[in-house]
Structure 1
Protein backbone atom coordinates (compact mmCIF):
# COMPACT_ATOMS: atom_id res chain seq x y z
CA UNK A 1 0.00 0.00 0.00
CA UNK A 2 1.04 3.59 -0.67
CA UNK A 3 0.17 6.29 1.83
CA UNK A 4 0.36 10.05 2.13
CA UNK A 5 0.41 11.85 5.45
CA UNK A 6 -0.22 15.60 5.24
CA UNK A 7 0.01 17.85 8.26
CA UNK A 8 -1.08 21.45 7.88
CA UNK A 9 -2.69 24.33 9.67
CA UNK A 10 -5.95 25.74 8.32
CA UNK A 11 -7.40 29.18 8.90
CA UNK A 12 -10.96 27.85 9.25
CA UNK A 13 -11.76 24.13 9.39
CA UNK A 14 -15.29 24.45 7.98
CA UNK A 15 -14.10 26.48 4.99
CA UNK A 16 -11.24 24.02 4.40
CA UNK A 17 -13.56 21.00 4.70
CA UNK A 18 -15.99 22.38 2.13
CA UNK A 19 -13.19 22.77 -0.42
CA UNK A 20 -11.73 19.37 0.55
CA UNK A 21 -15.12 17.69 -0.01
CA UNK A 22 -15.64 19.51 -3.32
CA UNK A 23 -12.28 18.15 -4.51
CA UNK A 24 -13.20 14.52 -3.84
CA UNK A 25 -13.70 13.67 -7.51
CA UNK A 26 -10.36 15.11 -8.63
CA UNK A 27 -8.63 13.32 -5.73
CA UNK A 28 -10.23 10.05 -6.80
CA UNK A 29 -9.29 10.59 -10.45
CA UNK A 30 -5.69 11.31 -9.38
CA UNK A 31 -5.46 8.00 -7.51
CA UNK A 32 -6.62 8.58 -3.93
CA UNK A 33 -8.36 5.41 -2.74
CA UNK A 34 -9.37 6.29 0.82
CA UNK A 35 -8.67 8.94 3.44
CA UNK A 36 -8.96 9.94 7.08
CA UNK A 37 -9.08 13.51 8.40
CA UNK A 38 -7.82 14.03 11.93
CA UNK A 39 -7.06 17.00 14.16
CA UNK A 40 -4.54 17.62 16.88
CA UNK A 41 -6.08 17.12 20.30
CA UNK A 42 -5.10 20.56 21.56
CA UNK A 43 -5.08 22.52 18.29
CA UNK A 44 -8.24 22.25 16.13
CA UNK A 45 -6.60 24.25 13.33
CA UNK A 46 -3.85 21.63 12.92
CA UNK A 47 -5.28 19.07 10.48
CA UNK A 48 -3.91 15.70 9.40
CA UNK A 49 -5.00 14.19 6.09
CA UNK A 50 -3.98 10.52 5.92
CA UNK A 51 -4.76 8.76 2.65
CA UNK A 52 -4.19 5.60 0.62
CA UNK A 53 -3.06 6.09 -2.98
CA UNK A 54 -2.68 3.97 -6.10
CA UNK A 55 0.98 5.03 -6.28
CA UNK A 56 3.40 7.48 -4.69
CA UNK A 57 4.04 8.95 -8.14
CA UNK A 58 0.35 9.73 -8.62
CA UNK A 59 0.15 11.33 -5.18
CA UNK A 60 3.23 13.51 -5.75
CA UNK A 61 2.02 14.57 -9.16
CA UNK A 62 -1.34 15.55 -7.68
CA UNK A 63 -0.17 17.32 -4.52
CA UNK A 64 2.63 19.19 -6.27
CA UNK A 65 0.50 20.35 -9.21
CA UNK A 66 -0.10 24.09 -9.77
CA UNK A 67 -3.86 23.44 -9.61
CA UNK A 68 -3.60 21.99 -6.11
CA UNK A 69 -1.32 24.75 -4.93
CA UNK A 70 -4.08 27.22 -5.85
CA UNK A 71 -6.76 25.08 -4.18
CA UNK A 72 -4.69 25.00 -0.97
CA UNK A 73 -4.39 28.80 -1.01
CA UNK A 74 -8.14 29.13 -1.51
CA UNK A 75 -8.74 26.70 1.36
CA UNK A 76 -6.56 28.68 3.77
CA UNK A 77 -3.90 25.99 4.18
CA UNK A 78 -0.67 27.10 5.84
CA UNK A 79 2.70 25.32 5.56
CA UNK A 80 1.66 21.84 4.44
CA UNK A 81 4.06 19.00 5.18
CA UNK A 82 3.81 16.01 2.84
CA UNK A 83 5.12 12.62 3.92
CA UNK A 84 4.98 9.82 1.35
CA UNK A 85 4.94 6.34 2.90
CA UNK A 86 5.08 2.71 1.84
CA UNK A 87 3.70 0.02 4.11
CA UNK A 88 6.16 -2.50 5.48
CA UNK A 89 3.67 -4.47 7.55
CA UNK A 90 0.41 -4.21 9.46
CA UNK A 91 -1.39 -6.18 12.11
CA UNK A 92 -4.34 -6.31 14.44
CA UNK A 93 -3.87 -6.83 18.17
Structure 2
Protein backbone atom coordinates (compact mmCIF):
# COMPACT_ATOMS: atom_id res chain seq x y z
CA UNK A 1 0.00 0.00 0.00
CA UNK A 2 1.10 3.56 -0.65
CA UNK A 3 0.44 6.46 1.69
CA UNK A 4 0.36 10.23 1.71
CA UNK A 5 0.78 12.37 4.81
CA UNK A 6 -0.34 15.96 4.37
CA UNK A 7 0.22 18.59 7.02
CA UNK A 8 -1.46 21.93 6.51
CA UNK A 9 -3.09 24.81 8.25
CA UNK A 10 -6.61 25.80 7.24
CA UNK A 11 -8.41 29.09 7.78
CA UNK A 12 -11.41 27.36 9.37
CA UNK A 13 -11.70 23.63 10.03
CA UNK A 14 -15.49 23.41 9.61
CA UNK A 15 -15.38 25.17 6.23
CA UNK A 16 -12.43 23.03 5.10
CA UNK A 17 -14.18 19.81 6.20
CA UNK A 18 -17.29 20.56 4.13
CA UNK A 19 -15.18 20.95 1.00
CA UNK A 20 -13.06 17.91 1.90
CA UNK A 21 -16.20 15.77 2.25
CA UNK A 22 -17.67 17.16 -0.98
CA UNK A 23 -14.52 15.97 -2.80
CA UNK A 24 -14.89 12.34 -1.63
CA UNK A 25 -15.88 11.03 -5.07
CA UNK A 26 -13.02 12.72 -6.91
CA UNK A 27 -10.58 11.53 -4.23
CA UNK A 28 -11.81 7.95 -4.64
CA UNK A 29 -11.71 8.16 -8.44
CA UNK A 30 -8.14 9.43 -8.20
CA UNK A 31 -7.03 6.45 -6.07
CA UNK A 32 -7.53 7.35 -2.41
CA UNK A 33 -8.87 4.34 -0.53
CA UNK A 34 -8.55 4.97 3.21
CA UNK A 35 -8.07 8.22 5.10
CA UNK A 36 -7.72 9.70 8.55
CA UNK A 37 -8.07 13.36 9.46
CA UNK A 38 -6.29 14.46 12.62
CA UNK A 39 -5.67 17.81 14.25
CA UNK A 40 -2.94 19.19 16.40
CA UNK A 41 -3.88 19.01 20.06
CA UNK A 42 -3.33 22.73 20.53
CA UNK A 43 -4.68 24.03 17.19
CA UNK A 44 -7.95 22.88 15.57
CA UNK A 45 -6.94 24.52 12.28
CA UNK A 46 -3.66 22.60 11.96
CA UNK A 47 -4.73 19.47 10.09
CA UNK A 48 -3.03 16.19 9.27
CA UNK A 49 -4.59 14.14 6.46
CA UNK A 50 -3.20 10.61 6.26
CA UNK A 51 -4.42 8.42 3.41
CA UNK A 52 -3.81 5.16 1.57
CA UNK A 53 -3.58 5.26 -2.23
CA UNK A 54 -3.55 2.88 -5.17
CA UNK A 55 -0.10 4.25 -6.09
CA UNK A 56 2.23 7.15 -5.35
CA UNK A 57 1.88 8.28 -8.98
CA UNK A 58 -1.92 8.42 -8.65
CA UNK A 59 -1.61 10.50 -5.49
CA UNK A 60 0.93 12.91 -7.01
CA UNK A 61 -1.18 13.32 -10.15
CA UNK A 62 -4.21 14.16 -8.00
CA UNK A 63 -2.51 16.49 -5.52
CA UNK A 64 -0.65 18.38 -8.27
CA UNK A 65 -3.71 18.76 -10.54
CA UNK A 66 -5.02 22.26 -11.34
CA UNK A 67 -8.47 21.14 -10.15
CA UNK A 68 -7.15 20.33 -6.69
CA UNK A 69 -5.14 23.54 -6.49
CA UNK A 70 -8.44 25.42 -6.97
CA UNK A 71 -10.16 23.26 -4.34
CA UNK A 72 -7.36 23.95 -1.83
CA UNK A 73 -7.71 27.70 -2.39
CA UNK A 74 -11.50 27.47 -1.94
CA UNK A 75 -10.99 25.42 1.24
CA UNK A 76 -8.60 27.96 2.77
CA UNK A 77 -5.58 25.64 2.85
CA UNK A 78 -2.29 27.32 3.72
CA UNK A 79 1.08 25.88 2.59
CA UNK A 80 0.40 22.13 2.48
CA UNK A 81 3.32 19.77 2.98
CA UNK A 82 3.01 16.47 1.09
CA UNK A 83 4.97 13.43 2.23
CA UNK A 84 4.70 10.35 0.00
CA UNK A 85 5.31 7.06 1.82
CA UNK A 86 5.57 3.35 1.03
CA UNK A 87 4.81 0.83 3.75
CA UNK A 88 7.66 -1.32 4.99
CA UNK A 89 5.87 -3.04 7.83
CA UNK A 90 2.78 -2.95 10.02
CA UNK A 91 1.54 -4.88 12.99
CA UNK A 92 -0.55 -4.94 16.10
CA UNK A 93 1.09 -4.96 19.50
CA UNK A 94 -0.19 -7.16 22.27
CA UNK A 95 0.84 -7.40 25.86
CA UNK A 96 3.12 -10.39 26.53
CA distance in 1, matches of 2:5, 2:78: 15
SS at match of 2:80: strand
- Which residue matches 1:70? 70
Show the 5 A alignment for 1:1-93.
1-93=1-93
Alignment TM-score, normalising by the size of structure 1 = 0.99
Instruction: Name the CA distance, whole Å, in 1 between partners of 2:41 and 2:14.
Output: 17
Larger Rg: 2
Gap runs ≥5 in structure 1 = none
TM-score normalised by length of structure 2: 0.96
Q: Distance in 2 between matches of 1:77 and 1:19?
A: 11
In the alignment of these two chains, the number of paired residues is 93
Distance in 1, matches of 2:69 and 2:23, equals: 13
Q: Segments of 4+ in structure 1 off by > 2 A? A: none
**Structure 1: distance between partners of 2:57 and 2:17:** 25
Query: Any unmatched runs of 5+ in structure 2?
Result: none
